[in-house]
Structure 1
Amino acid sequence: MADGRIRALVEAIHATPTQAVLYLSGGASQALGYLMSIPGASNTVLEAIVPYSRTSMIQLLSKIPTQFVSKQTAEDMALLAYNRALKLSKPGLSVVGVGFTGSLASTRPKQGDHRFYFSTRTSDRLWVSSVTLSKGLRTREQEDKVSSHFLLKAIADACKVSATFHPDVNETEVPDECEKLFDEDEELQQLLNGEICMKVYPFSGHAPNSERKIILSGSFNPLHDGHLKLLEVATRISEGVPCFEISAINADKPPLTVPQIKERVEQFERADRNYL
């Protein structure tokens, strides 16, 4: 059972308009338990996967990682989770991808460190941290609890929620943190590079009341009344959130440049229309 501080933090996370996909391996299982057992989980958790076996992790990453427990693997997991969250989330809501990989106490003594890496990815931020625990100080369950507390704090931070507790660690178990911030141009370049699957511009200014999207794709060069009326008619026929999708990469045409994408997006902003 979660104590009062953990419960309050998870309730605050559930109260935010941020939805998450979590990929966890080798620890932090109690964090998922906290998120799922405290009411409001459906507001936050879109999907949670535990790629625990070697084969499962390889299939998730679509590659054999240099190290299964590493900073790079945590970042890769968070990015995959972020892209998955973009596809599963309600239109216009912010999303976070969460990755965790750890090597904690087991049934047999380990030669290496007891350590874990965890990462969160949002539209404008990649954050990663690592913690090396003192060997022999805790049981596996206790190490899992510590890693779960660190992960919950990271999720809260990504949801812009202030955590009022600190994980119970000693002075040598200091987290090593790294942060990368992205501006709009960098995010669009990531889109063109295939690192992220989409960038969402929610111009409507109100929360969607449907998970279903009605999408009109095109180059929109330029946006005209025919496009607007076509999507308007579609929303009369079928219920859903109306969205436009600019095809940044087209099989029959050269990819758009970042300035071209921004120029076309501005058309929808002036028209006060949703864009996906």
Structure 2
Amino acid sequence: MAVEDIVRRIHETPWQTVLVAAGGGSQAIADLLKVPGASRTVLEARIPYSPASLQDWLGGPPEHACSEGTARAMAMAAFLRARELCLSEHPEGGNNVLVAGVSCTASLATDRPKKGPHRIHVAVQRVEFTRSYSLVLNKGARSRGEEEEVARRLFLQGIAAACDVQFNEEIPLLTGESIEHRQAEAPPAWGSLLLGEVDAVSVGVPHDWEKGRPPLIFPGAFNPLHEGHLRMARLAEARLGRPVEFEISILNVDKPPLDYVEMKHRVEQFSLQERVWLTRLPTFLEKARRFPGCTFVVGIDTLLRIADPRYYRHEPGLRDRAIAEISQLGCRFLVFGRVVQGRFVTLDEVDIPPQLRALCEGLRESEFRHDISSTEIRRTGQNPTQIPGV
């Protein structure tokens, strides 16, 4: 089947898309636009070529401009943009609009040598699933134009998948090359969470709240979960005599929500005996409203952010009102020391508002110290299960 025939079939579907390409693959967008009917399929197309443009699309700098994770984040941003555009024209559609975000990020041959591999990552985001296609090219085996042709076809395959169209065109691979596929299907509750129909869903074994004692809530990204997190949870349970439930907000300020591949990966780090909440609660005030009466398990770095007016539009009054409401909701903080700017810091050593300090209980360095962070683990590629506590 010729590319034009595939594009024509895409245009015949009811799916509407936002497409975004960085570093390669933009010819696939041109393929869609030159076949009549593109206005039914393409709501918007973006080519964020500069680092600043990509950062603007994602709401912040990615850890790597060309990676499978960045492709998924780009596709999620495109999905949300597609919903926004579609609902602006058809508000009656609600959460039933048929939209998808499709992305391509590539690092291809250029006029200067590249240190890393030449590679292409394509991602598709729909309310039902997240899907990605990754291909590492044999470096130096193709011209830039030939690599662009591979990116074009892989991007088209993603667009076809987004619109439930079978892609039968051959992608010209060389010996040793293969396309890696990843997909996560969303349970209905996760789709409701992404669309904002609910603000929290839980996974794992629920704990008994009947005695009127809410559990301990341990918020974090857990990217990855490591031994320090697990030790904090066990120490918190032993100290306060209540079970810990972990909480991961899929929303982060100015960034796309976590996609289903990422949600699945983070949840699967925990044992089946742990209860994990996925929420749309990026701030502690929102968490307190959802879990009144709970004690939050936090590191001192997190507590300092709660105290910092910069996170309240630089308005100390907003911060003070948020802390006051957290207090009124009966919430408290169990605070663990962390390395901050190269020095291990505990609750006793920080300057925070008195009304926040009144809600806090801290552990001494002799009770807990673990210097490795999730950021450091990602940077060095260490195995998080083999990092001992101090």
TM range, smaller chain: 0.5 to 0.7
Q: Quick one: distance in 1 between partners of 2:169 and 2:104?
A: 20
Q: Quick one: distance in 1 between partners of 2:175 and 2:183?
A: 22
Structure 1 residue 112 and structure 2 residue 116: aligned? yes
1:223-238 counterparts in 2 under 5 A?
none
| Residue 264 (structure 1) aligns with | none
Given that 1:10 and 1:35 are in contact with CA atoms closer than 8 Å, whether structure 2 keeps it comes out as: yes
RCO higher in 1 or 2 (8 Å CA, sep ≥ 6)? 1
Counterpart pick for 1:73 among 70, 73, 89 = 70
The amino acid of 1:55's aligned partner reads: A
Q: Quick check: which has more Rg, 1 or 2? A: 2
Q: Secondary structure at the match of 1:32?
A: helix
1:87-236 counterparts in 2 under 5 A?
87-89=84-86, 90=90, 91=93, 92-190=96-194, 191=196, 192=199, 195=251
| Residue 44 (structure 1) aligns with | 41
Segments of 5+ residues of structure 2 without an aligned counterpart are 200-248, 258-279, 291-390
1:106, distance to aligned residue in structure 2 (A) = 0.3
Q: Quick one: distance in 1 between partners of 2:52 and 2:24?
A: 17
Q: Quick one: distance in 2 between partners of 1:100 and 1:172?
A: 22
Q: Quick one: distance in 2 between partners of 1:20 and 1:158?
A: 8
Q: Quick one: distance in 2 between partners of 1:60 and 1:148?
A: 21
Structure 1 residue 82 and structure 2 residue 86: aligned? no
Query: RMSD of the TM alignment (CA)?
Result: 2.3
Q: Quick one: distance in 2 between partners of 1:37 and 1:176?
A: 29
1:183, distance to aligned residue in structure 2 (A) = 2.0
1:194, distance to aligned residue in structure 2 (A) = 5.9
Deviation per CA, 1:189-217: give whole Å up to 9, x if none.
233356589xxxxxxxxxxxxxxxxxxxx
Which runs of at least 4 in structure 1 moved beyond 3 Å after TM superposition? 193-197
| Residue 52 (structure 2) aligns with | 55
Q: Secondary structure at the match of 2:103?
A: strand
1:166, distance to aligned residue in structure 2 (A) = 1.6
| Residue 221 (structure 1) aligns with | none
- If the length of structure 2 is used for normalisation, what is the TM-score? 0.49
Aligned residues: 201
Q: Quick one: distance in 2 between partners of 1:120 and 1:153?
A: 10
Given that 1:17 and 1:93 are in contact with CA atoms closer than 8 Å, whether structure 2 keeps it comes out as: no
Given that 2:16 and 2:98 are in contact with CA atoms closer than 8 Å, whether structure 1 keeps it comes out as: yes
Q: Quick one: distance in 2 between partners of 1:151 and 1:106?
A: 20
Deviation per CA, 1:100-138: give whole Å up to 9, x if none.
111001011212111011100001100012101112221
1:14, distance to aligned residue in structure 2 (A) = 0.5
Q: Quick one: distance in 2 between partners of 1:165 and 1:61?
A: 31
| Residue 209 (structure 1) aligns with | none
Given that 1:23 and 1:51 are in contact with CA atoms closer than 8 Å, whether structure 2 keeps it comes out as: yes
Q: Quick one: distance in 2 between partners of 1:173 and 1:102?
A: 16
Segments of 5+ residues of structure 1 without an aligned counterpart are 198-247, 256-276
- If the length of structure 1 is used for normalisation, what is the TM-score? 0.68
Q: Secondary structure at the match of 1:105?
A: coil
The amino acid of 2:145's aligned partner reads: E
Q: Quick one: distance in 1 between partners of 2:142 and 2:6?
A: 24
Q: Quick one: distance in 2 between partners of 1:19 and 1:73?
A: 22
Q: Quick one: distance in 2 between partners of 1:102 and 1:65?
A: 14
The amino acid of 2:61's aligned partner reads: I
Q: Secondary structure at the match of 1:108?
A: coil
The amino acid of 2:146's aligned partner reads: Q
